[in-house]
Amino acid sequence: MTIALPIWNSRDIVWLPMEGLCRQQTTREWELIVMECASPKETGAEFFEGYWERLQKAGCRRMLYIYTGDRLPLGQKWKEIAKRAKGKWFLLQASDDYPHARRLEVTNLNGYNWYHTRFFHSYSCATGGLILFDKLTSNYWKTGNDMAMYTDAVRKLPDNKMNKGVDFYLFGNIATKPLLDEVVYAGVNTNGQNAISLTREWHFKKPKPPYKKGRTLSP
């Protein structure tokens, strides 16, 4: 498996996915590829090198850090990571999300084009609360929570200067045969900590499906 971790302006929050990856409970072997774009709050390779011993204990067999002076669209970063990937399966890891401990163990693409967990908790840094995300089965509401697909499919992503074209490709092609995991896992994505997740802020002020107002929790 290849864990794809694209980062931008993430120095204050990228410890969150790294701690989650170090706590993976899996028998699978996997690699981590980080791609960082130039930003005001750069993380640097040394930060990730400091996790190497713990990552190995969690099954990581290879770690690669890539730096680019240009700020690339997210989909283009996925494609660049996929070019260097050795894993057959490509797991998207957001820089501000904490993956649940069995993410690598339960992800399964056999017979499917992509994998996605249905239920996942979101955390608002601004309000200090949790709210449950429910990916509706009747549409293709997009979120990066535990998404996985074949590496070869990501390599075929079109070159786009905007993410819109990537979304169309992912949800118009790859998402035609999804496996939706119905388990509520103990992972969490964040909101309000960096530029990547600011768009989630609205859902905490006026929650509506697929965010469940009735399931709001305190940490």
209-218 pLDDT per residue, tens: 666 654 545 4
Q: Which helix (H) or strand (E) holds 57?
A: helix 52-57
38-52, 70-84, 172-186: segment of lowest average pLDDT: 172-186
- Contact (Cβ atoms closer than 8 angstroms) between residue 66 and residue 84: yes
What is the distance between the alpha carbons of residues 23 and 16, in angstroms, rounded to a whole number? 11
Domain annotation for the chain: domains and CATH numbers: 2-217 (3.90.550.10)
Instruction: Collect all residues with Cβ–Cβ distance below 8 Å to 102 and sequence separation of at least 6.
Output: 24, 25, 26, 185
What is the distance between the alpha carbons of residues 150 and 68, in angstroms, rounded to a whole number? 24
Q: What angle do CA 4, 199, 102 make, to 5 degrees?
A: 40
129-170 pLDDT per residue, tens: 777 777 765 555 555 567 899 999 899 888 766 666 666 676
CA distances from 166 to 33, 45, 209 (A): 20, 27, 24
- Contact (Cβ atoms closer than 8 angstroms) between residue 150 and residue 88: yes
If you compute the radius of gyration of the chain from its CA atoms, what whole number of angstroms results?
Answer: 16
pLDDT of residue 49: 97
Maximum Cα interatomic distance, the chain, rounded to a whole number of Å? 44
